[in-house]
Amino acid sequence: MTKRRFIIDTDTASDDAVAILMALEWPDVQVDAITMVFGNMPIEQGGINARYTVELCGQETPVYQGTARPLLREPYYAEFFHGSDGMGEMHYPPPKRPLAGMDAVNELVRRFREAPGEITLITLGPLTNIALALSLEPKMAEWVKECYIMGGAACTVGNITPAAEYNIWCDPEAARMVFHSGMKIMMVGWEHCRGEANLDDEEMAMVYGFGTERAKFAMDCNQSALKASREWLGDPGLGLPDPMTMAIALNRDVCTRSSMHYVDVACDELTRGMTVVDELGVTNKEPNIEVCWEIDPVLWKETLYQTLR
Amino acid sequence: MPKKLLIDTDPGVDDAMAILFALNSPELDLVGLTTIYGNVYVEQATENALRILEFAGRRDVPVAQGAAKPLLTPLEGVAHFVHGSDGLGETRQPPPTGEAVDQPAAEFIVETIIANPGEVTLMPVGPLTNIAIAVELDPRIVDNVAQVVIMGGAATVNGNVNPAAEANIWGDPHAADIVFGAGWPLTMVGLDVTMQIVMDATYLDALKEAGGRTAAYIHDITRFYLDFHRRIHGLGGLHTHDPSAVAYAIDPTLFATIRGGMRVLTEGIAAGMTLMDRRGEWYGEHAWTGRPPVDVCVEVDAERLLALYLERIVAAP
């Protein structure tokens, strides 16, 4: 069986870890590489978390360190959400394998150049690495088979400001560069992990009940995120934006409604990082992004559970 | 030992004048040219860079092609009306025989600086896209570059695209804000000084008269450029932009500088404006607080600079 090839760009904290795990465990997918970007965590801690996750899954996927800062802004980490270690204060032991390299951007360009049209890109953090790769080599946009972006908020509230979702807000200029690059992109906004897509207490207990190390890991490391999800976002249970995006990349049927639109990213102070979706086509601008509007919560959870059982 | 010089360029008449100045100055060792859109499209810039090196008999100097457009904003067009549709004053030179190296400019910049720690003078004389990508790709270049000398910006005078903005900075204001904030030893050679240095028709004729084929080449390519200055500025000469950056690298005592944090405005009617903190002391924090100081040339001994340029070009083959 030829497997589908993925590269994951991530700022690994707890929900990124689950998304990585899902891809590593999915039967017809092979993860070629993981590239790190600052975001939830300072770049070094993200790399530690990603490698720990890879090792937990018994894999040897190379992890490359990338950009440590936004293009023009100051970094703003999310320890307040994911815990000081990004992993729900579990303070897992350090990974055994070192980073595979310190030049994630060149590595992205190199890998997509070698296999044009064959590799799917999934981004789970700020888009700095991807923006730089596209600037360095504009043909990247054609070489990427398709790109699933966890980021933005399509015509709805943000989670870091009223206007903006965290990943896009962290480096709005990079996001704007990526959105206008011509790359085939599906944007999966953070809103899809809310409401019915949250894992409630019963579901989390069920996951623990799977009895696997992976299931325990996926729930344990998200304890800080669960608390923040409830106390800070006022959601009923655990929201998992990165795993939701990964679920769509693994199993396209999880997204039940999507359409192409012109989407731009606001870079001014009040609306910094807002993903402005021209839902009605009033700008008459060429659509550049496939926007995910609805997901199937049952199928999403089944997709997640399949990788944890 | 001569300074290793890496010029990022969009040739461009004054770019060509600067490159030939550098090639004929013993204080400098040109180790590469990286190209950028700006005066011309990037493909044309690469062709012209190769042409100029071939004219000078310096095929050994590598050329790496860079970005074709700004980081975020669309490319608004190029300056054919200033430099001619070929970028070399409508001189219609034959195509170059050599080729650029198979490596993007930003990577070439990083590799050159890292391979020669503390030795490379990086000299962007076009929009700053390649430089911004390079510093983001590998921030170690900040501590490993000898100095960055930028032709661009206008700190104490009006711009030349509009009252706010100078053309190179206006070309990619986001990249410029990254480059000015990177924290490396940086000197801006902007309109504050370059517009004080005028090469008039008499000067260019004297250059040709006294010199050889290099001087004649410069005389040729400046005809169209001179005409632009006459039409737009009512000036009987041309502003010495890019060669001034080379002059700074040869002899910084030609200039007087001021020091302070610099921000580049990225949006609105003044996008591309280089706005400098010329005061330093403030009551509260603002967008300049903590910006690494840069040096900005505000005065120049134009007479001495023009004499130096003439001397080097006349002595050239």
Per-residue pLDDT of B70-83, as tens digits, reads 999 989 889 999 99
CB B310 within 8 A of CB B206: yes
Burial level of B55, CB count in 10 A (0-12/13-18/19+)?
A: middle
Q: Within an 8 Å CB–CB cutoff, is residue B132 touching chain A? A: yes
Domain count for chain B: 1
In A42-153, where does DSSP find H-type helix?
43-56, 79-82, 104-114, 128-136, 140-143
CB B142 within 8 A of CB B182: yes
Per-residue pLDDT of A184-212, as tens digits, reads 999 999 999 999 999 999 999 999 999 99
Rounded distance, CA A248 to CA B26, Å? 61
Q: Is it the case that residue A257 has pLDDT exceeding 90?
A: yes
Domain count for chain A: 1
Say if the Cβ atoms of A72 and B136 lie within 8 Å: no
Per-residue pLDDT of B259-287, as tens digits, reads 999 999 999 999 999 999 988 888 888 99
Known active-site residue B10: yes
* The residue type at B214: T
* The residue type at A254: V
Q: Is it the case that residue B58 has pLDDT exceeding 80?
A: yes
Write the CATH number for B281: 3.90.245.10
How far is CA B104 from each of CA A65, A135, A228, B65, rounded to the nearest angstrom? 20, 10, 43, 6
- Identify the domain containing residue A261 by its residue range: 4-308
End-to-end CA distance of chain A: 23
- Identify the domain containing residue B160 by its residue range: 3-315
CB A142 within 8 A of CB A163: no
Say if the Cβ atoms of B137 and A132 lie within 8 Å: yes
Substitution target from B71, B108, B289 for chain A, most A beta carbons within 10 A: B71
Q: Within an 8 Å CB–CB cutoff, is residue B287 touching chain A? A: no
The reported pLDDT for the residue numbered B301 is 98
For the residues B117-121, what does the mean pLDDT come to? 98
How far is CA B296 from each of CA A31, B172, B262, rounded to the nearest angstrom? 49, 19, 9
Write the CATH number for A14: 3.90.245.10
Q: Within an 8 Å CB–CB cutoff, is residue A250 touching chain B? A: no
Say if the Cβ atoms of B107 and A106 lie within 8 Å: yes
| Contacts of range A232-236, beta carbons closer than 8 Å, 24 or more positions apart | A232/A81, A233/A159, A233/A194, A235/A194, A235/A195, A235/A198, A236/A195, A236/A198, A236/A200
For the residues A213-233, what does the mean pLDDT come to? 95
The reported pLDDT for the residue numbered B219 is 97
Residues in B closer than 8 angstroms to A138, CB to CB, are 68
Question: How much is the ipTM here?
Answer: 0.75
Burial level of B140, CB count in 10 A (0-12/13-18/19+)?
A: middle
Residues in A closer than 8 angstroms to B265, CB to CB, are none
The reported pLDDT for the residue numbered B153 is 98
Query: What does pLDDT average to over chain B?
Result: 96
CA distance B50 to chain A (A): 21
For the residues B302-316, what does the mean pLDDT come to? 97
CB A187 within 8 A of CB A180: no
Beta-bridge partners for B255: B300
CB A136 within 8 A of CB B137: yes
* The residue type at B84: G
The reported pLDDT for the residue numbered B83 is 95
The reported pLDDT for the residue numbered A143 is 98
The reported pLDDT for the residue numbered B235 is 85
In chain B, where does DSSP find H-type helix?
13-23, 42-55, 80-83, 105-115, 129-137, 141-144, 167-171, 173-180, 191-194, 201-210, 213-233, 242-250, 302-315
B264 to chain A: closest CA residue? A72
CB atoms within 10 A of CB B269: 10
Q: Within an 8 Å CB–CB cutoff, is residue B291 touching chain A? A: no
The reported pLDDT for the residue numbered B13 is 97
Of A71, A131, A268, the CB nearest to B267: A268
B178 contact partners, CB below 8 Å, separation of at least 6? A71, A72, B128, B132, B135, B136
Say if the Cβ atoms of B139 and A132 lie within 8 Å: no
Q: Is it the case that residue B152 has pLDDT exceeding 90?
A: yes
Please, which pLDDT band fits residue B146 given cuts at 50, 70 and 90? very high
The reported pLDDT for the residue numbered B284 is 86
H or E segment and range at residue A217 = helix A213-220
The reported pLDDT for the residue numbered A131 is 98
Please, which pLDDT band fits residue B60 given cuts at 50, 70 and 90? very high
